[in-house]
Amino acid sequence: MKLTFRLVTILAAFIAIPSLAKEGMVQIQSQYSVPVTTERLIVAAKARGLKVIGRVNHAEGAQKAGLTLRPTELVIFGNPKVGTPIMECSQSAGIDLPQKALIWEDAKGKVWLGYNSPNYVAQRHRIDNCGLSVKKAEKALVSLAKLATQPSP
């Protein structure tokens, strides 16, 4: 009886881990490959006046280390005029800024674009009392994600 209870407790903890890893992350399925989605995101960000700070190809890094990883890229982008007031309010928000988007191919071959929800970042760093527009940031990220993942109408 004790062994069964302990096993169930361990399994419950193990099953809960993946959901915790995605807390606060918005995920949108892309109609394009990882490289194309990544490039579309970069073009859309630059067109909106955002600075693209970096592009990390995790799969390429894995390959150089003799390992394999499905296509996975990270884009780092932002605007100091937006990020600085957030960090003035709560300097710890700098761990989540500039904004990042992860583009990856899952085990079924579907491509996803994910980013931290501005609401999650605001709650995490307690910046909701600073008079900053979280809705404006969310709207901008939804628009960028749509441009990167969906065909133009």
Give per-residue pLDDT as tens, 95-104.
999 999 999 9
Domains, the chain, in order of start with CATH, read: 24-149 (3.30.310.70)
DSSP letter string over 26-91?
EEEEESS-HHHHHHHHHHHHHHTT-EEEEEEEHHHHHHHTT----SEEEEEEE-HHHHHHHHHH-G
Instruction: Give residue-wise pLDDT tens across range 10-58.
Output: 333 333 333 334 789 999 999 999 999 999 999 999 999 999 999 999 9
pLDDT tens digit sequence for 56-109: 999 999 999 999 999 999 999 999 998 999 999 999 999 999 999 999 999 999
